[in-house]
Amino acid sequence: MRVEAVLGDITRQDVDAIVNAANEALAGGGGVDGAVHRAAGARQMHEACARLGGCATGDAKATPGFALKARWVVHTVGPRWRGGNAGEEQALRSCYRRCLEVADELGARSVAFPAISTGVYGYPPRQAAEVAVTTLLGTETKVELVRLVAFDQASFDIYRELLASHGGRAGQ
């Protein structure tokens, strides 16, 4: 598996599956979640999510991508940061692992991830990036390309640095 980093918008990625940083109700929201719902087609995405019956923190569930370039959306629920001693790291690792498992079940070969939990949920970006890179590189999967999509230059620089030291690649 190759892991690369880009600076960009998760909704515009031309990959088999994109990951959505969702909430437990899968009801849509702000940040990545709002952007994914809008770009996919809000009504269809809302109906597809409603049929999934919610999603626990650390778990992942798929819907079609509808109007997106990506064929599927893998919705995952990251932990809310509560200071770091409330199982946040374990839950965030679980998000990345479960997204790859769901991608494998779908037959997706390329998957793009946003920086799960680092927005409204408050996970410190560098620590979240370390969890992302080490978990992805340590998980057995049939996914061939993982793209880490940073939404700002500082996050992109962190990914680039971590991938250089862990043997991944930074693109763009």
Catalytic residue IDs: 33
Out of 72, 151, 156, 159, point to the residue binding ligand ADP (CB under 6 A): 151
Identify the helix (H) or strand (E) that includes residue 73. Answer: strand 72-76
SS3 state at 146: strand
CB 24 within 8 Å of CB 54 = yes
Q: In the bound complex, what is the minimum distance in angstroms from residue 50's beta carbon to ligand ADP?
A: 19
Instruction: Find the residue with minimal CB distance to ligand ADP.
Output: 119
- 119 lies in the site for ligand ADP, by CB under 6 A: yes
Out of 121, 139, 143, 159, point to the residue binding ligand ADP (CB under 6 A): 121
What residue spans of 26-167 are helical by DSSP H?
A: 31-40, 42-50, 88-106, 125-137, 153-166
Token reading at 151? 């939404």
Question: Segment 72-111, which members bind ligand ADP (CB under 6 A)?
Answer: 78
CA–CA separation, 67 and 150 (whole Å): 22
Q: Which is nearer to ligand ADP, 11 or 63 (CB)?
A: 11
Q: What is the per-residue binding string for ligand ADP in 10-39, x denoting contact by CB under 6 A?
A: xx---------x---------xxx-x----
Q: Which stretch binds ligand ADP (CB under 6 A): 61-69, 114-122, 135-143, 160-168?
A: 114-122
CB 17 within 8 Å of CB 70 = yes
- How many binding residues for ligand ADP (CB under 6 A)? 19
The phi-psi region of residue 24 (left if phi > 0; otherwise alpha if psi is between -120 and 50; otherwise beta) is alpha
Query: Which residues contact ligand ADP by CB under 6 A?
Result: 9-11, 21, 31-33, 35, 78, 114-121, 149, 151
